Structure 1
Amino acid sequence: MTRLLSSDDQPIWHDAPDPAYPMLSDAIAVDVCVIGLGGSGFACIHELLDLGVSVAGIDAGAVGGGAAGRNGGFLLAGLAAFYHDAVAAIGRERAAAIYRLTIAEIGQMATAMPEVVRRVGSLRIAASPEEAIDCNAQLQAMRADDLPVEPYCGPEGEGLLLPTDGAFQPLHRCRLLAERAQQGGALLFTHTPALAIEGTTVQCPHGRILARHVIIAVDGGLERLAPELCGMVRSARLQMLATGPDPACSIPRPVYTRWGYDYWQQLPDGRIALGGCRDRFAAEEWDAPPKPSVPVQLALERLLRERIGSQAPVERRWAAQVAYRRDSILPIARQIRPHVWAIGAYNGTGNVIGAVCGRAVAHAAVRGDCSLLRLFDPSNA
């Protein structure tokens, strides 16, 4: 275990070298600067290009180098909160509107990149009698609002089938989005951290970007780039491992279990990607660097052997930082200063809702159209 943790911690999705993008080394001027080249950042960039404005995107690391390219590869509709909990927290009308928007977003992703997305559905599997009762409450709430859901009983256990969900290769998608954004006219710079945002000028180590609007589109570490959100947002480490191909296992769709704390999927080539167990070591995982730790990795390996039943060798272990919002189940999607916007804090499931937020904030910044952003405003009862 110690040897493995000291080796390369690239995710299972890292199957090719990082594409080459320049570092910013001069002063440039654009209409909008987007900070963060992950899924939500690229959704924002593409929407801005469609709106006809000039865009520069920067990232402190590589394209998809943060949680966007290091997550479990799940495409889940709705918010991180289970649907009935979302209804209780923000109301039926708003919870249903967000859920339908995310179903549509998954559909758009699958249509745009069929080579990356598998629309196979997902499972929520109960790990206890109490969770089985909760699954039924979710089933009834979703049926009441005519949302796609089915009761499930199969090899994985009993729970729910969410047929509109899916799985994807998240890092490959980020790289394709980057390539298409550059072809569309966006200026992209990697290994270019934002050191400070002064008005709407973004200061970087070797240059600066003068913009009319700045959009911070990061998840983990959002509170560091946007100090206004300290106390409201806090980052945590999520950890995963992946096996070699296991022909003895058949897991046709992503699985969430134990209230969403544990999750896994099997890739088409037979490898298993497994994450979770953070809650068992919660104090150590808050504000932790994105590197695997021995206690969580041992717990994940026990889950792999005892719950999933796979004896395939573990080939990769990795981690990422994601942000959680303390005061609401809704993500951050708001203006934090004049002409400076922030999206993030997706509470662990940002692949789909982050793209919706990215599109919404692009329209709010450029057109003043905040209709979608109002869905994510906790004060908008």
Structure 2
Amino acid sequence: MQQHTESYYAASRNNSREFPQLQKQLRCDVCIIGAGFSGLSSALHLAEKGFHVVVLEAAKVGFGATGRNGGQIVNSYSRDVDVIEQRYDQKTAQALNEMIFEGGEIIRSRIAQYNIECDYQQGGIFAALNAKQMRGLAEQKANWERFGNHQLHLLDKDELSKRVGTQAYQGGLLDMKGGHIHPLNLALGEAEAILSLGGEIYEQSAVVSYQAGEPATVLTEQGKVTANYVLFAGNAYLGELEPKLSDKAIRCGTQVVATEPLSEDLCQQLLAENDCVEDCNYLLDYYRLTADRRLLFGGGVVYGAKPLASIEKQIRPKFEALFPQLKGVAVDYAWTGNFLLTYSRMPQFGRLDSNIYYLQGYSGHGVTCTHLAGKLLAEVLSDQAQRFDVFASLNHYRFPGGRHLQVPFTALGAVYYNLRDKLGI
């Protein structure tokens, strides 16, 4: 049986409920494959609309990226307003950009409505390492204000250093519509909400095959679900269940550590206002304090999601360079998690058949965008397809190099952009 990875989140989760394994035949309105944020958000929105939902999870609720990420509420997609307006026609770009803050709003409403204890903290910072990145943040602020976010503050070097205790940055952008959470506890709270509305969740129930049709059928090793609709929501952990989806994107690994608990004085030196931070590099680093005062720090990308020999060895030089006062501090937890990267860096929502849907490919922006995705999925199954179809209309191209060369080609491109970041060009 698959259990949670040995992460800080798994060790500090406030609900250890064991969901049953599917060992019977069920009939439902919607069968959802995957109990990460995509699946849970979809199930909760659907259950609120009166749909009978069954969620099938191969391991544990929140087992994948949902329970392993940096826990940051970062608005927009992996491609922001400027790129979207250059790439797509005016109507499509307008529709996409009008939704960039909705995921974060959904998270906050879920926390309030269902009393989910997940250490929510307001305030997220984008930190610039050079003048070019500062110009980019000024443009981002103007673009986001055009679409209704008026809780943004551009910080110069001195202003930023009062909130983040390092001299590494030239300045930053504070987004008070951003923030941070304990993502696994958010997922577990959403799962409880689904159960309260009559939904069903099964763990250790990997799907082995499915058959399209009206109704569709979904088979696990010991059970069967017959459903009017099926949603694929496995993302980087879907495997080869549906090659049409696994061929659309590549898996990437990211690494995270959590230090031992730090003194309150040291926490004030590092992050005086308890903001979360991500830098503006192509291969970015991100960090924040946890509720029990650890520094949780992540960064780096492993294309193809191959395991590293030592996660701590990869991450420690990063946080010690930013905060020399942490030199030698103990790392209590170190883990990796996989996310799904698309060629366009835009999420992939669509249909495989008239009643077979999928949500995937958030390219590192999954915490907020998955919550938007679930709302759109519930809309389309309620005969309100307009917003879902904005995403479904986007073209998604395979990575160059085919199955065998797409990972090294992508890594080579990352080297190029990483060099540009270091040179500030």
1:95 Cα shift? 4.1
- One-letter code aligned to 2:235: D
Find 2:285's aligned residue among 255, 262, 269.
262
Contact 2:311 2:335 in 1 (8 A): no
Q: How many positions carry a matched residue from both structures?
A: 363
1:362 Cα shift? 2.2
Say if 2:289 is the partner of 1:276. Answer: no
1:19 Cα shift? 1.7
Find 1:13's aligned residue among 9, 21, 32.
9
1:321-354 residue CA offsets vs partner (Å, 9 max, x unmatched): 111111x332111112231100011111111110
Find 2:24's aligned residue among 23, 26, 38.
26
Distance 1:50 1:140 in 2: 36
1:281-335 residue CA offsets vs partner (Å, 9 max, x unmatched): xxxx23325x5x2365323110111113323310001111111111x33211111
Q: TM-score, normalised by structure 2?
A: 0.79
1:114 Cα shift? 6.0
Find 2:175's aligned residue among 162, 170, 173.
162
1:85 Cα shift? 3.1
Contact 1:30 1:212 in 2 (8 A): yes
- One-letter code aligned to 1:39: F
Say if 2:363 is the partner of 1:340. Answer: no
Say if 2:103 is the partner of 1:87. Answer: no
Distance 1:176 1:145 in 2: 30
Unaligned regions of 5+ residues in structure 2, if any? 396-425
Corresponding residue for residue 152 of structure 1:
155
Aligned residues: CA RMSD: 2.2
Distance 2:79 2:42 in 1: 24
Contact 2:210 2:219 in 1 (8 A): yes
Corresponding residue for residue 3 of structure 1:
none
- Secondary structure, in 3 states, of the residue corresponding to 2:126? strand
1:93-141 residue CA offsets vs partner (Å, 9 max, x unmatched): 2343122423432431342346325242110001233322322222232
Say if 2:192 is the partner of 1:185. Answer: no
1:163 Cα shift? 1.2
Distance 1:114 1:208 in 2: 31
Contact 1:223 1:233 in 2 (8 A): no
Contact 2:103 2:370 in 1 (8 A): no
Distance 1:31 1:272 in 2: 43
- One-letter code aligned to 1:256: E
Q: TM-score, normalised by structure 1?
A: 0.88
1:183 Cα shift? 2.3
Distance 1:317 1:181 in 2: 31
Distance 2:64 2:260 in 1: 23
- One-letter code aligned to 1:133: R
- One-letter code aligned to 2:20: P
Find 2:379's aligned residue among 363, 366, 375.
363
Contact 2:78 2:363 in 1 (8 A): yes
Find 1:287's aligned residue among 262, 283, 304.
304
Cα distance change on mapping 1:344 and 1:286 into 2, 3 Å: same
- One-letter code aligned to 2:9: W
- Secondary structure, in 3 states, of the residue corresponding to 2:109? helix
- Secondary structure, in 3 states, of the residue corresponding to 2:367? coil
Corresponding residue for residue 375 of structure 1:
390
Distance 1:188 1:259 in 2: 39
1:151 Cα shift? 0.4
- Secondary structure, in 3 states, of the residue corresponding to 1:163? strand
Corresponding residue for residue 410 of structure 2:
none
- Secondary structure, in 3 states, of the residue corresponding to 1:373? helix
Distance 2:375 2:365 in 1: 17
1:146 Cα shift? 4.4
Cα distance change on mapping 1:379 and 1:315 into 2, 3 Å: closer
Cα distance change on mapping 1:301 and 1:320 into 2, 3 Å: same
Distance 2:107 2:202 in 1: 27
- One-letter code aligned to 1:302: P
Contact 1:59 1:190 in 2 (8 A): yes
Identity of aligned residues (%): 20
- One-letter code aligned to 1:374: D
Distance 1:144 1:184 in 2: 37
Unaligned regions of 5+ residues in structure 1, if any? 1-7, 279-284
